[in-house]
């Protein structure tokens, strides 16, 4: 048994995430090397005791509070972005997730916390971008909104989903008429998309030829339907360049966050991007739900 315990502890020590195991009374029974490196608290500082006050936000609700542990509600699922304090006193931003530990009969015997610094979060996928100032500013603003909305959803807040919108004619227009014509067309499309937004929704540039819409539709089906309405507005945008009228269409990928799925924001966006690319492969002028449900619009 001792050999097995040593193997398990060695395996947990090799992980890059901080791992903390709590006993039935809320005392720390294991503290891996990554937890020590992230927080500055060595195992000798914490093992056999409740979690230090500076780190309480990292830990499962009720950990370190003795008789409250058995009834504690765990914040499982996507996790939460929290602020804690390093042993040396400076602030830490950490993504943490809690897990219940149970025996073979299903009885809770302890809890675990898994955490890592927020700067180690996966980078969010974006569209191709030449990093012009307007796109960069829009994307930075949207990233902050996305993080806040996703964290609220993970805590049981309002439904959350995204529409990834690619303008089908942008690449060709940029090649034939130049960047100025393309930017003028994209501004026209953005104004058209904004007309279809629900209250509290937001649209912004997410790449050279792409937009992202933050949505609060209640289901994947409703999000796809909303995407169809958005696509219809784009088609009605009247864009002319030197007297030539350009017919506009968009390819949209829709992805709805699901409370039962343990995916992060980056993975949600990857699903939306994949669905958008499926719409492009279908010939454009399509709305595709992730995964796999496509509604093509009339030509």
pLDDT for the residue numbered 204:
92
Q: CATH 3.30.70.270 spans which residues of the chain?
A: 133-296
pLDDT for the residue numbered 1:
52
Per the prediction, the chain carries an average pLDDT of: 82
pTM across the whole model: 0.59
pLDDT for the residue numbered 285:
93
Residue closest to 126 by CA, chosen among 207, 214, 208: 207
Q: CATH number of the domain at 133-296, please?
A: 3.30.70.270
Averaged pLDDT for residues 227-256: 91
Averaged pLDDT for residues 128-145: 75
**Run of H or E including 45:** helix 43-46
pLDDT for the residue numbered 79:
57
Residue closest to 265 by CA, chosen among 116, 145, 127: 145
Q: CATH 3.30.450.20 spans which residues of the chain?
A: 2-120
CA pair distance 190, 230, nearest whole angstrom: 11
Model confidence at 64: pLDDT above 70: no
pLDDT for the residue numbered 222:
94
Low-confidence winner among 65-74, 179-188, 218-227, 279-288 (lowest mean pLDDT)? 65-74
Q: Which CATH class is domain 2-120?
A: alpha beta
pLDDT for the residue numbered 279:
95
Model confidence at 172: pLDDT above 60: yes
Degrees, nearest 5: CA angle 62-65-70: 55
């Amino acid at each position: 048994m001792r050999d097995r315990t040593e193997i398990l502890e060695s395996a947990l020590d090799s992980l890059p995430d901080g791992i903390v195991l709590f006993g039935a009374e809320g005392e720390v029974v294991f503290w891996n090397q990554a937890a020590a490196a992230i927080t500055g608290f060595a195992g000798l500082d914490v093992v056999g005791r409740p979690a230090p006050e500076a780190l309480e936000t990292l830990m499962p609700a009720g950990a370190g509070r003795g008789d409250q542990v058995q009834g504690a509600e765990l914040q499982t699922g996507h996790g939460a972005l929290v602020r804690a304090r390093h042993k040396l006193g400076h602030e830490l931003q950490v993504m943490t997730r809690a897990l219940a530990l149970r025996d073979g009969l299903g009885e809770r015997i302890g809890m675990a916390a898994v955490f890592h610094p927020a700067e180690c979060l996966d980078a969010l996928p974006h569209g191709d971008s030449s990093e012009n100032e307007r796109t960069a500013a829009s994307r930075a603003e949207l990233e902050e909104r996305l993080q806040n909305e996703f964290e609220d959803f993970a805590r049981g807040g309002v439904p959350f989903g995204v529409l990834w919108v690619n303008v089908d004619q942008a690449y060709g227009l940029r090649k034939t008429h130049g960047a100025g014509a393309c930017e003028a067309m994209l501004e026209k499309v953005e104004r058209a998309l904004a007309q279809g937004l629900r209250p509290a929704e937001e649209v912004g540039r997410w790449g050279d030829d792409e937009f992202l819409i933050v949505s609060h539709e209640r289901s994947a089906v409703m999000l796809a339907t909303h995407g169809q309405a958005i696509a219809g507005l784009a088609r009605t945008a009247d864009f002319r360049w030197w007297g030539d009228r350009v017919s506009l269409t968009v390819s949209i990928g829709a992805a709805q966050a699901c409370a039962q799925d343990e995916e992060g924001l980056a993975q949600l966006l990857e699903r939306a991007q994949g669905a958008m690319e499926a719409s492009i492969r279908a010939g454009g002028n399509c709305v595709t739900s992730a995964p796999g449900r496509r509604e093509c619009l009339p030509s």
